[in-house]
Structure 1
Amino acid sequence: MNTTSDILCIGSVLWDIIGRAASHMRQGSDVPGRITRLPGGVAMNIAMTLVRFGMTPTLLTAIGRDPEGDELLAASSRLGMVTDHVYRSDDLPTDRYMAVEGANGLIAAIADAHSLEAAGAKILRPLIHGPLGTPAVPFEGLVALDGNLTLALLEEIARSDAFARADLRVAPASPGKAERLLPFLQHARATLYVNLEEAGILCQRTFTGSESAARALVERGALRALVTDGGNSASVANADGTLTLTPPSVLVTRVTGAGDTFMAAHIAAEAQGAPDEEALSRALQAAATYVSGETPL
């Protein structure tokens, strides 16, 4: 396949196994619900949303040469993604993510991205040795990067000449991996997408709202920062100032993938030339539609 791509999505592409119940849950709850198995992972979630907004993403990730991997790769191609450059491992299994969600939100989740971490820099070979770029002729387009990569690899990307001209959009995979974004906190070409908790971890303080959190990230050296706070306000900040908007109020039916949807919708809006306020508004609307269950899984 030689499909022209609009953006590289680098990071986790795996199977999401998610159990959802309509009732409130707590530790030890045993309730009826639905269990789904769908393509997921931060890079995949971003790519799926980009496709819905008319963009063609290229995946750079690790997928095992097992039946689950074959199925996942085929699903990615059917969804409209370029998979030519995916690293296929002979000895690493395809990664998985498992979550339980109730009416009161995410109850618990386990991300098994060990194969992606073990593959390391092998997933970047198309950017280092071609055909997507080389350190001498670096890739110049949009790159969505997720924090499921190891800290060592993220540090390598942050200083690599192969990414010196890229428009980097970076997000942690979860609050537990937020500190992996530290190499991009003072990066000249990186935009950070985080939630309120992740912003607090990066700044080592507690925030009461997205506006102060976004400003603090910029004060710490971020080129630009977007901070979300669930159904509360979301903010984007850079050296010129801060913009804050409130998302639409909706009934929340799912939460896994909401942040990835927000990030992808914002990237797509900007790629289409939308000004700052419109891009943020469209991203919030897309995330609200997603959590309400109106967007197809």
Structure 2
Amino acid sequence: MTVAAVGVHVLDTHVLGIESIPAGSEGQLVETIRMSPAGTAGGTAVVLARLGAEVRSYGAVGTDPVGDTLLALLAREGVAVDGLVRKAEAQTSASVLPVRPNGDRPAWHCIGANGAFTLDDLPADLLDGVTHLHLGGPEFLGGEAAGQLLGRARAAGVTTSVDVLAPGDAAMLAWIADALPHTDFLLPNDEQVLGFTGAATLAEGAQALLERGVGCVAVTQGAKGALVATASGAVEVPAFPIEVVDTTGCGDAFSAGFLRGLSLGLAPAEAAGLGCATAAQVAQGLGTDAGSYDLAAVQELAASR
């Protein structure tokens, strides 16, 4: 599996053990502060590399120290970073995530260079040797440009997948609509599906997205697991019971595990089981790159059900 991970790349800073923001200018000791590569393209790239795929990242970062750090962390995971262009006029996209004891994590986020990324930043040889193109954050390109990129990939025989970063609403669905007929696998969360479609149930919402031209919709549902919808119907795939440390990156981890499962010949529902197992590994640590999980570990967990 050789993947071009295109789109949103972010540097996350996690602060573990936050129950409240200190008053005024007061300080507070915390358990851990660490950084990790993230984003609907960057986070998925890291996990795919952990799971044995060859991964090449494409997107935009700044020329700042934040960008230096993000590139170094991606490269340490074996992700090829030559395709990440550096924009002097924008800072690298970054988030600060105070993690509560139950794993919840509100966030401060700066869009930064992700907002400056365009199709012109992609090399002509983007698809050479690629088996899969994963587009994280099609809303930053806009549906027309995203559709051009995905259509070009499918015409070259490359499997396509899309993960949307923005919250779901009807206007956002209209903005990215041109990308949907060129999307083999759409990877939203439950709130996005219901917000995009206005459907009463997740299955109905997924069906509405299939009718927009998507080949398969694999929806994450937090602690409930996932729902996978194809033309043959919808299947629920339960999550694994774990002790949650941090839910940051679980959606990206599910996407990576799901896509890796497909590349290994699994049916979509079985691939979703591998996705849930991968998300479970990530949720037990801080950030998408926490711990030392690999393909064998997530396969073992998936098989334990």
TM-score, normalised via structure 2 length? 0.80
Deviates more, 1:157-166 or 1:251-260: 157-166
Which residue of the other structure, out of 139, 152, 163, is the alignment partner of 1:162?
152
Aligned positions of 1:198-237 closer than 5 A: 198-207=192-201, 210-237=202-229
Aligned partners of 1:258 and 1:287 also within 8 Å: yes
Whether the 8 Å contact between 1:146 and 1:172 is mirrored in structure 2 is yes
Higher mean Cα deviation, 105-114 or 169-178?
169-178
Take 1:22 and 1:251, find their aligned partners in 2: how far apart are those partners? 17
In 2, Cα distance between the equivalents of 1:146 and 1:244? Answer: 24
Query: Mapping of 1:101-250 within 5 angstroms?
Result: 101-124=99-122, 126=123, 130-133=124-127, 141-147=131-137, 149-152=139-142, 154-160=143-149, 162-165=152-155, 166-175=158-167, 179=172, 182-183=176-177, 186-207=180-201, 210-250=202-242
2:275 to 246, 265, 283: 283
Residue matched to 2:11: 15
1:262 aligned partner: 254
Uncovered stretches (5+) of structure 1, i.e. residues with no partner: none
Deviations 1:52-100 (A, max 9, x none): 1101110001122233323322332221011222212233222211222
Larger relative contact order (C-alpha < 8 A, sep ≥ 6)?
2
Distance in 2 of aligned mates of 1:35 and 1:67: 17
| CA–CA separation in structure 1 for the residues paired with 2:238 and 2:68 | 41
**What amino acid does structure 2 have at the position aligned with 1:282?**
L
Q: Is the contact between residue 6 and residue 141 of structure 1 (CA under 8 Å) also seen in structure 2? A: yes
Task: Say whether the 8 Å CA contact 1:117–1:148 is kept in structure 2.
Answer: no
Query: What is the number of equivalent residue pairs in this alignment?
Result: 281
- What displacement does 1:296 show? 1.5
Tell me how far 1:14 sits from its aligned partner: 2.6
The unaligned stretches of length 5 or more in structure 2 are 293-305
Distance 2:41 2:81 in 1: 12
Question: What is the alpha-carbon distance in structure 1 between the residues aligned to residue 57 and residue 169 of structure 2?
Answer: 21
Letter of the structure 1 residue corresponding to residue 96 of structure 2: M
Which residue pairs with 1:67 in the alignment?
65
Percent of matched pairs sharing the same residue: 25
Amino acid in the other structure paired with 1:144 = H
- The answer to whether residue 81 in structure 2 is matched with residue 87 in structure 1 is no
SS in 1 for 2:199: coil
Pairwise CA RMSD: 3.0
Q: Is the 8 A contact 2:57 2:80 kept in 1?
A: yes
